[in-house]
Amino acid sequence: MANLPALSDSTKRQLAVQWDTIRDKQKLTDEEVSGYDLGRQWLLGMLPKAPHGMNLGRLNIGHTFEDRKRAARWLGLDPSVKVAEGRFRGTDWEYWSHWCSSGEPYKTYAAWLETLKRETVAELESIWKGRSAASDKWFEVACKPKIEEALSALVKARIAQARDVEVNRLDRKARAGAWTRVAGTLPGTTPNGATEPKADESTCTNAGLTVNGTNRAESDGKGRNRGPKPDHEAASRVAEIVARVAPDGDWRPRLDDICEALDEAQVPFPKRWRKRDRSCNGWAAYDERANAVKAIGYRLEIAKQRKKATPETLS
C-alpha cells in the first residue's frame, strides 16, 4: 500500500470539518446511523417492537417479512455511498495538488488513489460496525461492495485525467527542447523574437488538466467574442465532477447528484440565479432545473473546447 503525502494541520482540519458537513448533509450523523441500526434490527425481527429513535429513512417497508428484509438491505445504503463519494472527492483534491507539483508519473498518483479508496472504505466501516450483528453483516454484504464499486469508478476517471496531464507534460518538454534547437545559439528566443515555451507550462488544478497556452483570439484580441471571458477553470471543474458522478456520459438523469457534488466542491453557480431567486445559495438550491442543465452543458462545452485547443506549432 502506497504511503500518502503528509497534509498540513490546516488541511487536516478543513477535511475534518468537511467530513462532518458531508455526513450532516447526507443524514449520516452518529445519531442517524444509530436510528438506522435500530430500524434494521426491527425490520429483521431482532427486536419485538419498534424501538424509540428508530430511523427507517422514509423507506416503503411493505407488508410481508420479505418486504422488510429488502428494506433492511436498502436502509442507509444510499447515504453511505454518497458520503463515501463526497469524502473521497474532497480528500483526493488535496493529494491531486501534491502530485501535480511533484512531477511524479501518473502511476504514483494512481497508487495514492488506491490507498485513499481503502481509507475511505475504512472510515465508513467505522461508522457502521460494532453497533449490532445485523449492521455488521449488512455492511460487509451490502454496503461495502456498493461503496467500493462507486469509488472504483471515481479512481478510474481520476487516473485517466492524471494520464492526460502526464502526456501533456511530456509533450511540453519535448516541444520546449525542439524550440531551443530551432533557436540555435540563442536559447530562449526564436528568429521571430517569440518567447521559448517552458517545459512546465501544463499545470494542474483541483479539477484536472489546465493548459497555460493561449489561442490567437485570447492573445492578440482578434476574433474575441464580446461579453465576459469564459471561466475555463470552473468549466474544467464541472467537467471533472460530471465525469465522476456520471462516468458513462449520461449525466442529465443524475442532475441532482451532480448539483450536490458541485456545491460540495464549492464550484461557483451562475450569478444571475441570485438575481432571480435571492434565496438561492448553490447549484442544488436552484428550482429551475432546465436552467441548471443549460448551465452545466455550457460549461462542459467550454471545457471540451479548452481541451481541444493546442498552442501554435512551430513553422
Q: What is the pLDDT of residues 262-275, one digit of tens each?
A: 888 888 889 888 77
Output the pTM of the full model. Answer: 0.61
Residues 146 and 258 in one domain: no
pLDDT (tens digit, 9 = 90+) per residue, 149-183? 999 999 998 898 888 888 887 887 777 766 666 65
Q: How many structural domains are present in the chain?
A: 2
Residues 242 and 120 in one domain: no
- The answer to whether residue 79 is domain-embedded is yes
Q: Which domain holds residue 219?
A: 213-308
- The answer to whether residue 84 is domain-embedded is yes
Q: Could you give the percent of the chain with pLDDT greater than 90?
A: 34
pLDDT (tens digit, 9 = 90+) per residue, 249-264? 888 888 888 988 888 8
Residues 50 and 160 in one domain: yes
Q: Identify the pLDDT of residue 202.
A: 42
Q: Is the pLDDT of residue 22 over 50?
A: yes
Residues 147 and 245 in one domain: no
- The answer to whether residue 129 is domain-embedded is yes
- The answer to whether residue 88 is domain-embedded is yes
Q: Identify the pLDDT of residue 291.
A: 86
Question: What are the Cα distances from residue 145, in Å, to 30, 59, 125, 175?
Answer: 22, 21, 12, 45
Distance CA 283, CA 148 (A): 27
- The answer to whether residue 187 is domain-embedded is no
Residues 39 and 164 in one domain: yes
Q: Identify the pLDDT of residue 234.
A: 86
Q: Is the pLDDT of residue 246 over 50?
A: yes
Residues 117 and 48 in one domain: yes
- The answer to whether residue 164 is domain-embedded is yes
Q: Which of 82-91, 155-164, 306-315 has the lowest mean pLDDT?
A: 306-315
**pLDDT class for 96, splitting at 50, 70, 90?**
confident
- The answer to whether residue 17 is domain-embedded is no
- The answer to whether residue 191 is domain-embedded is no
Residues 163 and 217 in one domain: no
Which residue type is seen at 39?
Answer: G
Residues 117 and 35 in one domain: yes
Distance CA 68, CA 45 (A): 9
Residues 217 and 302 in one domain: yes
Residues 158 and 243 in one domain: no
Q: Which of 133, 168, 203 is the last residue of a domain?
A: 168
Q: Is the pLDDT of residue 127 over 60?
A: yes
Residues 90 and 164 in one domain: yes
**Which range has highest mean pLDDT (189-198, 209-218, 224-233)?**
224-233
Residues 99 and 36 in one domain: yes
